[in-house]
């Protein structure tokens, strides 16, 4: 597990294996510590009026960390966004999908990634990490509108967002994700800075033919061409590789 300078992010990362494997945490009060970081200084979009994102780094602090699979965000803004997504992922996976604070946090994560018009501006690493939100969303196939508050000035940039199109359902976002990952699965050059293994695991929890096709494509992947990464990250990739092999082996043929 990578070291992080952020107590909030460190807690979200430490709780994640419990959430991932059991859908619960040993001590629910740990989740209150994560929730308390919502809307605090340093949260992405806060200066533009966004109030539902999680602050893992102070405004004057360099935001930097590594994912368990070894990748690092491309810059400060990317790190703050991915950290917000990781905290939201832990809360959502721990069973707080009915909590309005978590719903709003997921909405802002989607607005900053999949809601951008004219192509995706977020990094492949942020897009891949956010796929966990759909994978853990019990309403991922629902046409129910997402609770995205578009009123902050942050979202009034007409060059980044379509100001006339503000209604996204859970299903709409999942479809955008699947379209992108189908594109990304063709070649590593389509997801720079993001390993195959970060893309793979959330896909195994999204029941869709495009997810199956992408996973079959990823089944041929390896890390042979990559620079050396820490042993802990390689072990995490090996865990996901074993998961992928088992998943592909059970997929229907023909």
Mean pLDDT of all residues in 192-208 = 94
Which token pair is 203? 């896909």
Query: Which three-class secondary structure string do you get for 75-124?
Result: CHHHHHHHHHHHHHHHHHHCCCCCCHHHHHHHHHHHHHHCCCCCCCCCCH
Handedness of CA 219, 221, 223, 226 (dihedral sign): negative
In a domain, 2, yes or no: no
Instruction: Give the domain range for residue 53.
Output: 7-250
Helix (H, G, I), strand (E, B) or coil at 78: helix
In a domain, 176, yes or no: yes
DSSP state of 152: S
Q: Is the pLDDT of residue 223 over 90?
A: no
Split into its structural domains, the chain has a count of: 1
Q: Is the pLDDT of residue 21 over 70?
A: yes
In a domain, 152, yes or no: yes
In a domain, 214, yes or no: yes
In a domain, 29, yes or no: yes
In a domain, 183, yes or no: yes
pLDDT digits (tens, 9 = 90+) for 102-124: 999 999 999 999 999 877 889 99
What is the distance between the alpha carbons of residues 252 and 246, in angstroms, rounded to a whole number?
A: 12
What is the distance between the alpha carbons of residues 96 and 109, in angstroms, rounded to a whole number?
A: 16
In a domain, 1, yes or no: no
């Amino acid at each position: 597990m990578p070291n992080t300078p952020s107590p909030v992010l460190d807690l979200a990362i430490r709780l994640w294996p419990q959430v991932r494997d059991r859908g619960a945490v040993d001590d629910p009060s740990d989740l209150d510590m994560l929730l308390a970081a919502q809307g605090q200084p340093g949260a992405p979009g806060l200066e533009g009026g966004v109030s539902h994102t999680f602050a893992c780094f102070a405004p004057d602090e360099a935001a930097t960390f590594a994912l368990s699979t070894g990748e690092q965000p491309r810059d400060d803004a990317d790190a703050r966004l991915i950290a917000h997504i990781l905290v939201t992922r832990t809360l959502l996976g721990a069973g707080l999908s009915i909590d309005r604070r978590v719903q709003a946090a997921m909405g802002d994560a989607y607005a900053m990634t999949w809601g951008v018009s004219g192509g995706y501006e977020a990094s492949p690493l942020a897009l891949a990490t956010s796929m966990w939100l759909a994978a853990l969303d019990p309403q991922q196939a629902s046409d129910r509108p997402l609770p995205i508050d578009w009123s902050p000035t942050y979202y009034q940039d007409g060059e980044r967002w379509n100001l006339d199109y503000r209604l996204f359902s859970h299903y709409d976002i999942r479809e955008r994700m699947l379209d992108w990952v189908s594109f990304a699965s063709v070649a590593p050059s389509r997801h720079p800075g993001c390993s195959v293994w970060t893309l793979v695991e959330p896909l195994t929890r999204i029941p869709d033919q495009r997810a199956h096709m992408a996973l079959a494509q990823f089944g041929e992947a390896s890390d042979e061409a990559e620079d050396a990464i820490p042993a802990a990250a390689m072990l995490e990739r090996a865990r996901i590789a074993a998961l992928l092999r088992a998943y592909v082996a059970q997929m229907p043929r023909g």
